[in-house]
Structure 1
C-alpha cells in the first residue's frame, strides 16, 4: 500500500485530488469513512474536478463530473444521473490508520 495523505488532510465532507505513480486519484470523506477512486469519468475518461480538489456537488452529497454534470454516489461510485448512468467510478482499495490514508493499486 502507498501513503496517500494524513487524516487531517481529508476533512469530513471534503474531497481532494492526487497524482500518484502517473495516476490521477480522488478521495472523499463521508460519515468518517474515506473513499478513493480513479479520477476518471467512465463517460469520456476525463478528470472529474471543476477546480483543484473540487469533486462534490453543491450539497457535498455526490461526486460530480465537471464536464457533463454526471453524479456519482460517494459510497459506491455508481453514476445515478448523467450520460454514464449505471456505470461506476473505479474504486481503489484503501485503509486508514493512525498515520493516515493508504491506497492499493
Structure 2
C-alpha cells in the first residue's frame, strides 16, 4: 500500500493529482467517499488535469479531460460525453483510514 495524502488534504468536492511509482493518479472526494483513477484519458492517453489538482468541470459534478472536453462520472469513471463516450477511466482501489488515503495495490 502507498500513502497518497492525509484525509484533510482532499476536501469534499475537491480533486487532487498524485504520482505513485511513476503512475499518474487523480482522486476526487464526493459525498465523503474517495474515488481514485489513473490520470489518463481513454481516448488519447493524455493527462486529464487542466491545472494542478484541477479535474472537475465548472459544476464540480463531473471529471473533465482538459484536452478533448470529455466528461466522466465521478463515481464510476464512465465517459458520458466526448470522443471516448462509453469507455471509462481506469479505477484503482483505495482505502481511507485514520492515517490517510492509500493506494491499495501495486501500481
Q: State the secondary structure of the residue aligned to 2:90.
A: coil
**In 2: Cα distance, 1:23 partner to 1:94 partner:** 14
Structure 1 residues 75-102: Cα deviation after superposition (integer angstroms, max 9, x where no partner)? 0000000000000100000110001101
The aligned runs of 1:8-87 (5 Å cut-off) are 8-87=8-87
Q: Which runs of 5+ in 2 are unaligned?
A: none
Q: Which runs of 4+ in 1 moved over 4 A?
A: none
Structure 1 counterpart SS, 2:91: coil
Task: Give the TM-score normalised by the residue count of structure 2.
Answer: 0.96
Shift of 1:19: 1.1
User: 1:53 and 1:40 mapped to 2: Cα distance?
Assistant: 14
How far 1:36 moved relative to its partner?
0.5
Q: How many residues were matched structurally?
A: 105
